[in-house]
Amino acid sequence: MLEYSERPWGSYQVLHTSGSAQVKEIKVKAGARLSYQTHQKRAEHWFIVKGPAVITIDGETKTLAQGDSVDIGIGVAHRMAAPATNDVVFIEVQTGTYFGEDDIVRLEDDFGRN
């Protein structure tokens, strides 16, 4: 395992990393959500493995089913949430020039992080 991290909303595991891409499996607990955030050095592609999932991109919220996917460009505000009824699992493919956790600008956060 390359990296595994528990978070207040669930967990993630890095599956692959290279100079131009990183792939994570992310699990969001039922009723939890990630911070509403942007990145300055990476874009993301989300593929829903277990859903449904509630996503917000640039203020627009919609529900994605298992097998659905969405692209998030560099600098675009985004959030993933799990409904109260089910966990969400998704694969995140990051592309760009830097993949560190410090490339997160949190616009809103349920856990008081900035």
pLDDT surpasses 80 at 18: yes
Note whether 22 and 71 are within 8 A (CB): no
CB 24 within 8 A of CB 14: yes
Note whether 84 and 33 are within 8 A (CB). no
Q: pLDDT value at position 114?
A: 81
CA distance 33 to 88: 10
Give the pLDDT confidence of 88-98 residue by residue, as tens digits: 999 999 999 99
- What is the second-level CATH architecture of the domain 3-99? Sandwich (2.60)
Is the pLDDT at 1 greater than 80? The verdict is no
- Tokens representing residue 99 in the block: 């993949």
More confident residue, 76 or 101: 76
Q: Let me know: does 105 contact 63? Beta carbons within 8 Å.
A: no
pLDDT in tens, 38-74: 999 999 999 999 999 999 999 999 999 999 999 999 9
pLDDT at 60: 97
**Is 0.75 surpassed by the pTM of this model?**
yes
